[in-house]
Amino acid sequence: MEINRLLTNICSNNLSASKMFYTSLFAFKVEFDSDWFIHLVSESKGLELGIISEQHEIVPDKVKGRISGIYLTFVIENVDESFRQCLALNYEIILEPDMTPYGQKRMLVSAPEGTICDISSPS
């Protein structure tokens, strides 16, 4: 089966805080914004990220509050610049920028909805 499009959707209990996080750190523009769903598209690459209100009826009751395990990796040019932005915006930094055994510099930050964001750059 051929894939025509892949869109990652994150469930959030605070849409505005999640939108602010992803648009303040990454070059996303808001393509659609409603009271239950926000669609972000990167300005240059056409990458997509959706944010869905965890309380909305589209999220089955069976999974509300149970969604976990998401770990997003954003490959950017300058991790140190992103680190300074995170500090200025008072975002929760889990791991400060450091070199990895596989040759990239990375940091980990927690998004408002709890998603772990691995922000990496080539060395």
Residue 37 falls within a domain, yes or no?
Answer: yes
- In a domain, residue 92? The reply is yes
| Count of beta carbons in the 10 Å neighbourhood of residue 89 | 12
Report the alpha-carbon distance of residue 48 to residue 61 in Å, rounded. 25
- Kindly state whether residue 2 falls inside one of the protein's structural domains: no
Q: How many domains does the chain have?
A: 1
Q: What is the pLDDT of residue 3?
A: 66
Q: What is the pLDDT of residues 50-62, one digit of tens each?
A: 999 988 887 878 7
Per-residue model confidence (pLDDT) at position 84: 97
Residues 39/86, Cβ–Cβ less than 8 Å: no
Report how many helices (DSSP H) and strands (DSSP E) the chain contains, helices first: 2, 8
Q: Is the pLDDT of residue 28 over 90?
A: yes
Task: Show the domain range for 115.
Answer: 8-122
**CATH number of the domain encompassing residue 83:** 3.10.180.10
Between CA 33 and CA 75 the distance in angstroms is 25
**How many CB atoms lie under 10 A from the CB of residue 78?**
12
Is residue 33 a part of any domain in this protein?
Answer: yes
Where residue 49 falls among pLDDT bands split at 50, 70, 90? very high
108 within some domain: yes
Q: Is the pLDDT assigned to residue 14 strictly greater than 70? A: yes
Helix (H) or strand (E) holding 9: strand 8-12
